[in-house]
Amino acid sequence: MHPSENKNFYSAPQLHSSITSTKRSLTEDSQKLRRIAAAAYDYDNDPRWADYLSNILIPPHLSSRSDVLDHFKRKFYQRCIDPDLVVEVMSTNGSSQSMPSASSYSSSPPSDGQPRTRNTGSTARASGPSATTGQNPTSVRWDRQTIQFSVNAWVFVVAVLAIIPLAPINLSRRTYRLSFMGTACSSLYSLYTLYGRPRALNLQGIQVYLQSIMATKDFIYFIYCITFVTSHLSLKFALISILCRSLEHVAKFLRRNFSRSTLYRKYLENPCVWVESNTTTLSILSSHTEIGLGFLLIVSLFSWQRNIIQTFMYWQLLKLMYHAPVTAGYHQSVWANIGRTINPLVHRHCPFLNTPLSAVQRWWLR
């Protein structure tokens, strides 16, 4: 064949380069569409976003920047909606040096099945011996997930044993307390891994630390468990919230780490999918349970098992749940329904209760 006839054919390196550039272009277009979808997502109406945002710690000098909030929105979208979305590291102070975000990892494993590594900072830090230590947080985080799954699976089994009516009394009492103890340990461990310890062990340092964790769901459940595990009053009704919490944790872990397992697909896939698609229903059930427990504790004040301190502490916790962003939507909805039912009856039959109820409402809304 004459050399002039080969002018329309590519050589092997040219063909490989053309295919590579085409793939890169398709990948960039795909990521662009994913970023547009992430920006258009309705975060305000997703209760998982409030939960996610309350469990990350943004430095004070970055909390007012809109690009920082957009970065965490993309991380949430990658974590809960589209694991294939690639989120770049967040640059701070306008410099070229980048730093990992407070939640710069995704709970979903990457497509190759290997744990993701976190960016540890500048190139200089990543060289030499520091490169080895920079990969440790990923393996530690994987261990944290496994520990949380193990504890919550154990809590779920123990709580089910405590609720079974035909279980022996001694076994029921032990499993009842163990359920709260396990959830308290799980919540405390989660707080430690996310927020660490107080920077200073003085009054001001502890106060700043408590203010940073007080509105998180882990802190709320920790106080919830401490309130019941230290009481002689046994209310198995309180285990419903513990069961819902442990069920959500177990289902999420199984879906993200065992989705390719034959045993999971055969027996556990449908229940886990149902749990993750009905998290709002479980949260509403938990809020009804928690508010109902408050009224049960008031009724218990007229019995020989009364505990005034526990009742006061629990109603303070209910007030926190009413105002905390992670639980406010569900609790405020339940209280609104109670108000629509009770207020007409009070106005009609017991008008003398309007004054004390108004005082209680002012204290509640402070």
Query: pLDDT of 231-244, one tens digit each?
Result: 888 888 899 999 99
Task: Identify whether residues 76 and 211 lie together within a single domain.
Answer: no
* pLDDT score recorded for residue 313: 93
Query: Residue range 311-318: average pLDDT?
Result: 93
Do 183 and 325 fall into the same domain?
yes
Domain membership of residue 51 (yes or no) is yes
Domain co-membership, 331 together with 192: yes
CA–CA separation, 208 and 188 (whole Å)? 17
pLDDT at 107 over 70: no
**Residue 108 and residue 8: Cα distance in Å, rounded?**
46
For residue 338, the enclosing domain spans 144-365
Residues 6 or more apart whose CB falls under 8 angstroms from that of 158 comprise 175, 178, 179, 182
Assigned domain for 29 exists: yes
Q: What does the pLDDT read at residue 61?
A: 62
Do residues 214 and 69 both lie within one domain? no
Structural domain count of the chain: 2
Q: Which residues pair with 98 in a beta bridge?
A: 91
Alpha-carbon span 288 to 271, nearest angstrom: 23
CB atoms within 10 A of CB 255: 17
- Report the share of the chain in percent with pLDDT over 90: 27
Based on the domain organization, do 179 and 80 belong to the same domain? no
Q: Are residues 75 and 176 in the same domain?
A: no
On whether residue 302 sits in a domain, the answer given is: yes
For residue 63, is pLDDT > 80?
A: no
Residue 212 within any structural domain of the chain: yes
DSSP E strands in the chain: the ranges are 90-91, 98-99
Residue 47 has pLDDT above 50, yes or no: yes
Question: Could you tell me if residue 110 is inside a domain?
Answer: no
Distance (Å) of CA 322 to CA 52, 152, 329, 355: 18, 25, 8, 22
Tokens representing residue 191 in the block: 């707080």
Task: State whether 83 and 182 are in the same domain.
Answer: no
In angstroms, the CA 109 to CA 164 distance is: 36
- 159 and 273 together in one domain: yes
- What is the mean predicted confidence (pLDDT) over 205-227? 90
Tell whether 339 is covered by a domain: yes
Model pLDDT, residue 142: 57
Split at pLDDT 50, 70, 90, the class of 20 is: low
Residues 351 and 230 reside in one and the same domain = yes
pLDDT higher than threshold 60 for residue 281: yes
Q: In this structure, are 165 and 297 located in the same domain?
A: yes
State which amino acid sits at residue 285: L
Q: What is the rounded distance in angstroms from the CA atom of residue 180 to the CA atom of residue 288?
A: 19
Q: Is 14 within the bounds of a domain? A: no
Q: How confident is the model at residue 158 (pLDDT cuts 50, 70, 90)?
A: very high
pTM of the predicted model as reported, rounded to 2 decimal places: 0.61
Among 213, 238, 223, residue whose Cα is nearest residue 313: 223
What local confidence, expressed as pLDDT, does residue 124 receive? Answer: 36
DSSP string, 253-320: HHHHHSTT-HHIIIIIHHHHHHHHHTHHHHHHHHHHHHHHHHHHHHHHTTSTT--HHHHHHHHHHHHH
Q: Do residues 162 and 302 both lie within one domain?
A: yes
